[in-house]
Amino acid sequence: MKITNEDFIIIRKVHDLNQYELAVKLNYSQTYVMFIEKNYRKPTDEMNNRLISAFNLTPDKLNKIREFYHEYMVAADGTIRR
């Protein structure tokens, strides 16, 4: 299962984590998480595996998280609800 840079943001926000909290959960630095979210770096296979493991992700669960995010966390004007 391929995790995109945008998926990192979506998963983090749906689980109400900040970048530091996600980094700790994945055993990476907050800076590295920020680089992924800003498209400065691509998620490595190792990072994907850690995210999948940490959140027990399946393709179906990831799709549901994406749908939830776009339905409930993004306003009609495209702004992100907090």
Predicted pLDDT at 79:
62
Neighbours of 36 (CB within 10 A): 25
Would residue 82 count as lying in a domain? no
Q: Is the CB of residue 13 less than 8 Å from the CB of residue 80?
A: yes
Give, in degrees to the nearest 5, the angle at Cα 47 between 38 and 6.
35
List, for residues 9-61, the tens digit of each pLDDT value.
999 999 999 999 999 999 999 999 999 999 999 999 999 999 999 999 999 99
Domain count, the chain: 1
CATH number, domain with residue 68: 1.10.260.40
Would residue 19 count as lying in a domain? yes
Predicted pLDDT at 10:
94
Domain span holding position 59: 5-73
Q: Phi then psi for 57, rounded to 5 degrees?
A: -80, 140
Q: Model's pTM, two decimal places?
A: 0.85
